[in-house]
Amino acid sequence: MKFLGDGLRAGVLRAAGVAFVAAVLASCGGGQQIERFVPTRVLAFGDESSVINASGSKYTVNGVVDATATPPGVMDCSVNPIWVQYLATAYGLVFPQCPGIVASPPSRILAQPDTKAADVAAQITSFTSGDTFNGKDLVTVLAGQNDILEQYQLVKGGLPEAQASAVLEAAGTALADQVNIIARAGGKVLISTVPDLSLTPFAVTEGATNAAVLSRLTFSFNRKLRLGIINDGHMIGLLLTDEMVQSIVKTVQAGATTTYVDVTHVACDPAVAPLVQDCTTLTLKDYTGVPDTVGIKATATGWLWADATHLSAGGHASLGSSAYSRAAGNPF
Residue 60, classed as helix, strand or coil, is coil
| CATH number for position 26 | 3.40.50.1110
Instruction: Output 121 or 1, whichever has higher pLDDT.
Output: 121
Sign of the torsion formed by the C-alpha atoms of 223, 228, 230 and 231? positive
User: Does residue 32 register a pLDDT over 60?
Assistant: no
Q: Band of the pLDDT at 23, cuts 50, 70, 90?
A: very low
Phi, psi of 273 (to 5 degrees): -135, 85
* Integer Cα distance of 19 and 324 in angstroms: 7
State the maximum Cα–Cα separation within the chain, in Å, rounded to a whole number.
Answer: 61
Among candidate residues 302, 332, 238, the one with its CA nearest the CA of residue 34 = 332
The count of domains in the chain is 1
56 within some domain: yes
pLDDT of 298-312, one tens digit each? 999 999 999 999 999
297 within some domain: no
Q: How high is the pLDDT of residue 239?
A: 98
Helices 313-329 and 83-90 meet at what angle, rounded to 10?
40
Mean pLDDT over residues 111-132, rounded?
98
222 within some domain: yes
Q: How high is the pLDDT of residue 208?
A: 98
Q: How high is the pLDDT of residue 11?
A: 47
Q: Cβ atoms within 10 A of the Cβ of 126, count?
A: 13
209 within some domain: yes
Is-cis flag, bond preceding 39, omega within 30?
no
Query: Do residues 56 and 75 touch, judged by C-beta distance below 8 A?
Result: yes
Q: Band of the pLDDT at 135, cuts 50, 70, 90?
A: very high
Mean pLDDT over residues 15-39, rounded?
50
Query: Do residues 258 and 317 touch, judged by C-beta distance below 8 A?
Result: no
Q: How high is the pLDDT of residue 160?
A: 98
264 within some domain: no
In this prediction the pTM is 0.89
137 within some domain: yes
Mean pLDDT over residues 215-231, rounded?
98
The domain in which residue 74 lies consists of 6-240+312-323
Q: In the chain, what percentage of residues exceed pLDDT 90? A: 88
277 within some domain: no
Q: How high is the pLDDT of residue 67?
A: 86
Amino acid at 32: Q
pLDDT of 5-14, one tens digit each? 444 444 444 4
Q: How high is the pLDDT of residue 34?
A: 64
Mean pLDDT over residues 189-199, rounded?
98
* Integer Cα distance of 23 and 312 in angstroms: 28
Q: DSSP characters for 223-245?
A: HHHHHHS---TTTEEEE-HHHHH
299 within some domain: no
